[in-house]
Amino acid sequence: MRQLDEAAKKAGIVVLNEVGMDPGIDHLYAVKTISEVHAKGGKVREFYSYCGGLVSPEAADNPLQFKFSWSPRGALLSQQNSATFLKDGRVVTIANTDLMGQAEPYHVMEGYSFVAYPNRDSTPFREAYQIPEAHTVIRGSLRYKNNPPLVKALIDLGWLDQEFKPWLSGGQAHTWAGIQQRLTGAKSSSEEDLIHKVDERCHFASAEERARILDGLRWIGLFSDEQPGRLCDTLIDTLSAQLEGLCSLQPGDRDLVMLQHKFVVEWNDGSKNTITSTLELFGEPNGYTAMSKGVGVTCGIAAQLILDGFAPLSQPGVLAPYSRELCDAIRAKVEAEGIKLVEEMF
Protein backbone atom coordinates (compact mmCIF):
# COMPACT_ATOMS: atom_id res chain seq x y z
CA MET A 1 0.00 0.00 0.00
CA ARG A 2 2.80 2.43 0.83
CA GLN A 3 4.01 2.14 -2.76
CA LEU A 4 0.74 3.80 -3.81
CA ASP A 5 1.46 6.91 -1.71
CA GLU A 6 2.66 9.04 -4.62
CA ALA A 7 -0.23 7.96 -6.83
CA ALA A 8 -2.71 8.80 -4.05
CA LYS A 9 -1.16 12.25 -3.65
CA LYS A 10 -1.37 12.88 -7.37
CA ALA A 11 -5.01 11.79 -7.35
CA GLY A 12 -5.69 14.07 -4.38
CA ILE A 13 -7.23 11.32 -2.25
CA VAL A 14 -6.73 10.02 1.28
CA VAL A 15 -6.15 6.26 1.54
CA LEU A 16 -6.39 5.44 5.24
CA ASN A 17 -5.28 1.94 6.25
CA GLU A 18 -5.07 -0.08 9.47
CA VAL A 19 -8.28 1.19 11.05
CA GLY A 20 -9.99 -2.08 11.98
CA MET A 21 -9.39 -4.27 15.01
CA ASP A 22 -5.85 -5.53 14.49
CA PRO A 23 -4.44 -3.50 12.91
CA GLY A 24 -6.48 -0.58 14.11
CA ILE A 25 -7.62 -0.50 17.73
CA ASP A 26 -4.26 -1.99 18.71
CA HIS A 27 -2.47 1.09 17.30
CA LEU A 28 -4.73 3.49 19.20
CA TYR A 29 -3.71 2.11 22.57
CA ALA A 30 -0.08 1.29 21.77
CA VAL A 31 0.50 4.92 20.74
CA LYS A 32 -1.36 6.16 23.85
CA THR A 33 0.66 4.17 26.39
CA ILE A 34 4.01 4.66 24.67
CA SER A 35 3.43 8.43 24.48
CA GLU A 36 2.51 8.56 28.17
CA VAL A 37 5.59 6.55 29.18
CA HIS A 38 7.87 8.81 27.14
CA ALA A 39 6.24 11.93 28.60
CA LYS A 40 7.22 10.68 32.08
CA GLY A 41 10.80 10.05 30.99
CA GLY A 42 10.43 6.26 30.75
CA LYS A 43 11.70 3.90 28.10
CA VAL A 44 9.81 0.98 26.59
CA ARG A 45 12.33 -1.84 26.64
CA GLU A 46 9.97 -4.64 25.58
CA PHE A 47 6.71 -4.50 23.64
CA TYR A 48 4.37 -7.44 23.07
CA SER A 49 0.99 -7.30 21.34
CA TYR A 50 -1.22 -10.34 20.86
CA CYS A 51 -4.72 -10.50 19.41
CA GLY A 52 -7.12 -13.32 18.66
CA GLY A 53 -10.39 -13.38 16.74
CA LEU A 54 -11.87 -16.35 18.60
CA VAL A 55 -15.08 -17.71 20.07
CA SER A 56 -16.09 -17.54 23.70
CA PRO A 57 -14.76 -20.51 25.71
CA GLU A 58 -18.13 -22.25 25.92
CA ALA A 59 -18.46 -22.14 22.12
CA ALA A 60 -14.94 -23.51 21.45
CA ASP A 61 -16.50 -26.96 21.26
CA ASN A 62 -14.81 -28.52 18.22
CA PRO A 63 -11.34 -30.04 17.73
CA LEU A 64 -9.99 -26.78 16.26
CA GLN A 65 -11.37 -24.79 19.20
CA PHE A 66 -12.21 -22.20 16.57
CA LYS A 67 -15.18 -20.80 14.68
CA PHE A 68 -15.03 -18.28 11.89
CA SER A 69 -15.95 -14.68 12.58
CA TRP A 70 -13.94 -13.68 9.49
CA SER A 71 -12.67 -15.25 6.24
CA PRO A 72 -11.99 -19.01 6.68
CA ARG A 73 -9.26 -18.87 4.04
CA GLY A 74 -7.74 -15.79 5.62
CA ALA A 75 -7.78 -17.36 9.07
CA LEU A 76 -5.99 -20.47 7.80
CA LEU A 77 -3.43 -18.48 5.82
CA SER A 78 -2.66 -16.34 8.86
CA GLN A 79 -1.43 -19.49 10.57
CA GLN A 80 1.14 -20.33 7.93
CA ASN A 81 2.84 -16.99 7.42
CA SER A 82 6.51 -16.66 8.19
CA ALA A 83 7.25 -14.42 11.17
CA THR A 84 10.02 -11.94 11.91
CA PHE A 85 10.46 -10.10 15.20
CA LEU A 86 13.01 -8.47 17.47
CA LYS A 87 13.99 -10.44 20.58
CA ASP A 88 16.70 -9.25 22.98
CA GLY A 89 18.19 -7.06 20.27
CA ARG A 90 18.32 -9.85 17.71
CA VAL A 91 16.15 -10.23 14.60
CA VAL A 92 14.52 -13.67 14.62
CA THR A 93 12.74 -15.28 11.66
CA ILE A 94 10.48 -18.34 11.78
CA ALA A 95 9.63 -20.17 8.56
CA ASN A 96 5.96 -20.51 7.70
CA THR A 97 6.06 -24.30 8.03
CA ASP A 98 7.44 -24.00 11.57
CA LEU A 99 5.18 -21.25 12.87
CA MET A 100 2.52 -23.43 14.52
CA GLY A 101 5.23 -25.46 16.22
CA GLN A 102 6.40 -22.25 17.93
CA ALA A 103 3.09 -21.52 19.66
CA GLU A 104 3.64 -21.22 23.41
CA PRO A 105 1.33 -20.83 26.41
CA TYR A 106 0.53 -17.17 27.04
CA HIS A 107 -1.39 -15.82 30.01
CA VAL A 108 -3.75 -12.92 29.36
CA MET A 109 -6.29 -13.28 32.17
CA GLU A 110 -7.90 -15.94 34.34
CA GLY A 111 -10.38 -18.28 32.68
CA TYR A 112 -8.52 -18.71 29.39
CA SER A 113 -5.97 -21.22 28.15
CA PHE A 114 -4.25 -19.44 25.27
CA VAL A 115 -1.17 -20.06 23.21
CA ALA A 116 0.54 -17.31 21.25
CA TYR A 117 2.74 -17.16 18.18
CA PRO A 118 4.37 -14.25 16.30
CA ASN A 119 2.59 -12.84 13.26
CA ARG A 120 4.34 -11.63 10.09
CA ASP A 121 6.98 -8.90 10.41
CA SER A 122 7.01 -7.06 13.73
CA THR A 123 10.30 -5.25 13.18
CA PRO A 124 8.89 -2.10 11.46
CA PHE A 125 6.86 -1.30 14.57
CA ARG A 126 9.88 -0.20 16.57
CA GLU A 127 10.08 2.77 14.19
CA ALA A 128 6.31 3.15 13.67
CA TYR A 129 5.70 3.33 17.43
CA GLN A 130 8.83 5.44 17.98
CA ILE A 131 10.44 3.09 20.49
CA PRO A 132 14.06 2.87 19.27
CA GLU A 133 15.03 1.98 22.86
CA ALA A 134 13.14 -1.33 22.69
CA HIS A 135 15.21 -4.52 22.42
CA THR A 136 12.13 -6.73 22.02
CA VAL A 137 9.17 -6.05 19.71
CA ILE A 138 6.73 -8.88 19.03
CA ARG A 139 3.23 -8.74 17.54
CA GLY A 140 1.35 -11.99 17.32
CA SER A 141 -1.86 -13.99 17.46
CA LEU A 142 -3.75 -15.88 20.16
CA ARG A 143 -5.46 -19.25 19.81
CA TYR A 144 -6.85 -21.78 22.24
CA LYS A 145 -4.20 -24.36 23.06
CA ASN A 146 -5.43 -27.31 20.92
CA ASN A 147 -5.67 -25.27 17.73
CA PRO A 148 -2.04 -24.88 16.52
CA PRO A 149 -1.11 -28.61 16.69
CA LEU A 150 -4.08 -29.56 14.49
CA VAL A 151 -3.41 -26.73 12.05
CA LYS A 152 0.26 -27.76 11.91
CA ALA A 153 -0.82 -31.30 11.01
CA LEU A 154 -2.95 -29.91 8.17
CA ILE A 155 0.06 -27.92 6.95
CA ASP A 156 2.37 -30.94 7.18
CA LEU A 157 -0.14 -33.01 5.21
CA GLY A 158 -0.37 -30.39 2.45
CA TRP A 159 -3.90 -29.16 2.97
CA LEU A 160 -2.98 -25.48 3.10
CA ASP A 161 -1.36 -25.59 -0.36
CA GLN A 162 -2.52 -22.60 -2.43
CA GLU A 163 -1.30 -23.86 -5.82
CA PHE A 164 -3.77 -24.61 -8.59
CA LYS A 165 -4.39 -28.37 -8.86
CA PRO A 166 -5.88 -29.23 -12.27
CA TRP A 167 -6.70 -32.75 -11.11
CA LEU A 168 -9.00 -31.35 -8.40
CA SER A 169 -11.20 -29.39 -10.79
CA GLY A 170 -11.00 -31.64 -13.82
CA GLY A 171 -14.48 -33.06 -13.45
CA GLN A 172 -13.35 -36.32 -11.83
CA ALA A 173 -15.11 -37.44 -8.64
CA HIS A 174 -12.90 -37.37 -5.55
CA THR A 175 -13.39 -38.56 -2.00
CA TRP A 176 -11.67 -36.99 0.99
CA ALA A 177 -9.78 -40.22 1.59
CA GLY A 178 -8.76 -40.36 -2.07
CA ILE A 179 -7.37 -36.82 -1.95
CA GLN A 180 -5.56 -37.64 1.28
CA GLN A 181 -4.05 -40.74 -0.33
CA ARG A 182 -2.82 -38.69 -3.29
CA LEU A 183 -1.35 -36.02 -1.03
CA THR A 184 0.60 -38.42 1.15
CA GLY A 185 1.37 -41.28 -1.23
CA ALA A 186 -0.40 -43.83 0.95
CA LYS A 187 -0.73 -47.39 -0.37
CA SER A 188 -4.51 -47.14 -0.34
CA SER A 189 -7.28 -44.90 0.86
CA SER A 190 -8.01 -47.07 3.88
CA GLU A 191 -7.89 -45.25 7.21
CA GLU A 192 -5.10 -47.53 8.41
CA ASP A 193 -2.84 -46.66 5.45
CA LEU A 194 -3.70 -42.97 5.67
CA ILE A 195 -2.89 -42.84 9.37
CA HIS A 196 0.43 -44.57 8.69
CA LYS A 197 1.36 -41.64 6.43
CA VAL A 198 0.09 -39.13 8.99
CA ASP A 199 2.47 -40.69 11.50
CA GLU A 200 5.32 -40.35 9.00
CA ARG A 201 4.67 -36.70 8.17
CA CYS A 202 3.52 -35.27 11.48
CA HIS A 203 5.38 -34.96 14.76
CA PHE A 204 3.40 -35.33 17.96
CA ALA A 205 4.42 -34.09 21.39
CA SER A 206 2.70 -37.03 23.06
CA ALA A 207 0.43 -40.01 22.49
CA GLU A 208 -2.43 -37.86 23.79
CA GLU A 209 -1.71 -35.17 21.19
CA ARG A 210 -1.54 -37.81 18.43
CA ALA A 211 -4.96 -39.18 19.42
CA ARG A 212 -6.42 -35.67 19.57
CA ILE A 213 -5.08 -34.75 16.12
CA LEU A 214 -6.30 -37.98 14.53
CA ASP A 215 -9.73 -37.32 16.02
CA GLY A 216 -9.57 -33.84 14.52
CA LEU A 217 -8.69 -35.15 11.07
CA ARG A 218 -11.61 -37.61 11.30
CA TRP A 219 -13.93 -34.79 12.37
CA ILE A 220 -12.94 -32.77 9.30
CA GLY A 221 -13.66 -35.89 7.25
CA LEU A 222 -10.21 -36.46 5.75
CA PHE A 223 -10.36 -40.26 6.15
CA SER A 224 -13.92 -40.61 4.83
CA ASP A 225 -15.21 -41.96 1.54
CA GLU A 226 -17.54 -38.99 1.17
CA GLN A 227 -17.02 -36.46 -1.59
CA PRO A 228 -16.24 -32.84 -0.69
CA GLY A 229 -19.34 -30.70 -0.63
CA ARG A 230 -17.52 -28.09 -2.68
CA LEU A 231 -14.51 -29.15 -4.71
CA CYS A 232 -12.28 -26.18 -5.51
CA ASP A 233 -9.16 -26.00 -7.65
CA THR A 234 -6.83 -25.58 -4.66
CA LEU A 235 -6.47 -27.69 -1.57
CA ILE A 236 -6.78 -24.77 0.84
CA ASP A 237 -10.04 -23.61 -0.75
CA THR A 238 -11.46 -27.13 -0.70
CA LEU A 239 -10.54 -27.40 3.00
CA SER A 240 -11.83 -23.88 3.75
CA ALA A 241 -15.20 -24.73 2.24
CA GLN A 242 -15.44 -27.80 4.47
CA LEU A 243 -14.39 -25.92 7.60
CA GLU A 244 -16.78 -23.08 6.83
CA GLY A 245 -19.59 -25.53 7.42
CA LEU A 246 -18.02 -27.25 10.41
CA CYS A 247 -16.81 -24.09 12.14
CA SER A 248 -19.60 -21.62 11.62
CA LEU A 249 -21.08 -19.74 14.56
CA GLN A 250 -24.21 -21.51 15.77
CA PRO A 251 -27.37 -19.82 17.11
CA GLY A 252 -26.54 -18.43 20.52
CA ASP A 253 -22.76 -18.56 20.03
CA ARG A 254 -20.67 -15.54 20.91
CA ASP A 255 -17.39 -14.70 19.27
CA LEU A 256 -14.57 -13.13 21.24
CA VAL A 257 -11.84 -10.67 20.40
CA MET A 258 -9.02 -10.75 22.92
CA LEU A 259 -6.31 -8.13 22.53
CA GLN A 260 -3.48 -7.38 24.92
CA HIS A 261 -0.46 -5.09 24.78
CA LYS A 262 2.33 -5.65 27.27
CA PHE A 263 5.00 -3.00 27.85
CA VAL A 264 8.09 -3.56 29.98
CA VAL A 265 9.08 -0.04 31.01
CA GLU A 266 12.30 1.24 32.55
CA TRP A 267 12.13 4.53 34.47
CA ASN A 268 14.82 7.15 35.02
CA ASP A 269 15.71 5.74 38.46
CA GLY A 270 16.37 2.30 36.98
CA SER A 271 13.16 0.73 38.29
CA LYS A 272 10.91 -1.29 36.00
CA ASN A 273 7.19 -1.88 35.61
CA THR A 274 5.04 -3.98 33.33
CA ILE A 275 1.99 -2.26 31.88
CA THR A 276 -0.79 -4.23 30.22
CA SER A 277 -3.62 -2.86 28.10
CA THR A 278 -6.35 -5.46 27.52
CA LEU A 279 -9.56 -5.76 25.53
CA GLU A 280 -12.01 -8.62 26.13
CA LEU A 281 -14.83 -8.00 23.65
CA PHE A 282 -17.70 -10.47 23.20
CA GLY A 283 -20.16 -10.57 20.36
CA GLU A 284 -23.90 -10.54 20.90
CA PRO A 285 -25.69 -13.93 20.71
CA ASN A 286 -27.63 -13.87 17.43
CA GLY A 287 -26.49 -10.27 16.89
CA TYR A 288 -23.38 -8.35 15.91
CA THR A 289 -20.12 -10.21 16.33
CA ALA A 290 -17.28 -8.71 18.33
CA MET A 291 -15.17 -8.75 15.16
CA SER A 292 -17.77 -6.83 13.16
CA LYS A 293 -18.14 -4.27 15.96
CA GLY A 294 -14.41 -3.78 16.44
CA VAL A 295 -13.67 -3.46 12.73
CA GLY A 296 -16.83 -1.70 11.62
CA VAL A 297 -16.99 0.91 14.37
CA THR A 298 -13.33 1.86 14.05
CA CYS A 299 -13.37 2.03 10.27
CA GLY A 300 -16.63 3.99 10.26
CA ILE A 301 -15.28 6.54 12.73
CA ALA A 302 -12.11 6.99 10.69
CA ALA A 303 -14.14 7.48 7.51
CA GLN A 304 -16.30 10.09 9.23
CA LEU A 305 -13.20 11.99 10.39
CA ILE A 306 -12.03 12.16 6.78
CA LEU A 307 -15.43 13.48 5.70
CA ASP A 308 -15.35 16.02 8.53
CA GLY A 309 -12.03 17.39 7.28
CA PHE A 310 -10.10 16.44 10.44
CA ALA A 311 -6.69 18.09 10.02
CA PRO A 312 -4.41 15.01 10.35
CA LEU A 313 -6.44 13.36 7.57
CA SER A 314 -6.74 16.38 5.30
CA GLN A 315 -3.60 15.81 3.23
CA PRO A 316 -3.79 13.24 0.40
CA GLY A 317 -1.67 10.12 0.47
CA VAL A 318 -1.50 6.64 2.01
CA LEU A 319 -1.91 7.03 5.77
CA ALA A 320 -2.06 4.90 8.93
CA PRO A 321 -2.91 5.83 12.56
CA TYR A 322 0.47 6.24 14.24
CA SER A 323 0.34 9.89 15.37
CA ARG A 324 -0.89 10.75 18.85
CA GLU A 325 -3.33 13.36 17.54
CA LEU A 326 -5.02 10.98 15.13
CA CYS A 327 -5.04 8.03 17.54
CA ASP A 328 -6.52 10.14 20.34
CA ALA A 329 -9.32 11.37 18.10
CA ILE A 330 -10.31 7.90 16.88
CA ARG A 331 -9.88 6.31 20.32
CA ALA A 332 -12.19 8.82 22.04
CA LYS A 333 -14.97 8.01 19.60
CA VAL A 334 -14.33 4.25 19.78
CA GLU A 335 -14.56 4.38 23.57
CA ALA A 336 -17.85 6.29 23.29
CA GLU A 337 -19.16 3.20 21.47
CA GLY A 338 -18.24 1.00 24.44
CA ILE A 339 -14.98 -0.45 23.12
CA LYS A 340 -12.11 0.24 25.52
CA LEU A 341 -8.88 -1.42 26.61
CA VAL A 342 -8.27 -1.67 30.37
CA GLU A 343 -4.82 -0.66 31.56
CA GLU A 344 -2.98 -2.13 34.56
CA MET A 345 0.53 -1.62 35.95
CA PHE A 346 2.53 -4.21 37.86
State mean pLDDT over 326-346. 97
Estimate to the nearest angstrom the gap between the alpha carbon of 311 and the chain centroid.
32
What is residue 203's predicted lDDT score, i.e. its pLDDT? Answer: 93
pLDDT one-digit tens code per residue, 125-154: 999 999 999 999 999 999 999 999 999 999
Least confident of 66-80, 106-120, 292-306: 66-80
Instruction: State the Cα angle at 218 between 181 and 112, rounded to 5°.
Output: 130
- What distance in Å separates the CA atoms of residue 335 and residue 181, rounded to the nearest whole number? 52
Tell me the C-alpha to C-alpha distance, in Å, between residue 81 and each of 50, 152, 154, 208, 331.
16, 12, 14, 27, 30
Q: CB-based burial of residue 333 (10 Å sphere; 0-12 exposed, 13-18 middle, 19+ buried)?
A: middle
Say whether pLDDT at 300 is over 90.
yes
> Nearest to residue 256, comparing CAs of 216, 275, 283?
283
22 is a catalytic site residue = yes
- Mean pLDDT of the region 282-287: 94
- For 181-194, the pLDDT digits (tens) are 999 999 999 999 99
Q: What is the chain's mean pLDDT, rounded? A: 96
| Residue 331: predicted pLDDT | 98
Q: What is the pLDDT of residue 172?
A: 79
Distance CA 265, CA 274 (A): 6
pLDDT interval class at 328 (50, 70, 90): very high
Closest CA to 242 of 256, 227, 229: 229
Residue 68 has pLDDT above 90, yes or no: no
pLDDT of residue 169: 76
3-state secondary structure at position 95: coil
Among candidate residues 5, 22, 193, 225, the one labeled active-site is: 22
Distance from C-alpha of 76 to C-alpha of 274, rounded to nearest angstrom = 32
Please state the φ and ψ torsions of residue 118, each to the nearest 5 degrees: -70, 155
Q: Tell me the per-residue pLDDT of 245-275, one tens digit each, with 9 for 90 and over.
A: 999 999 999 999 999 999 999 999 999 999 9
Q: What confidence tens digit (pLDDT) does each residue in 7-41 have?
A: 999 999 999 999 999 999 999 999 999 999 999 99
pLDDT at site 304: 97
pTM exceeds cut of 0.85: yes
pLDDT at residue number 72: 87
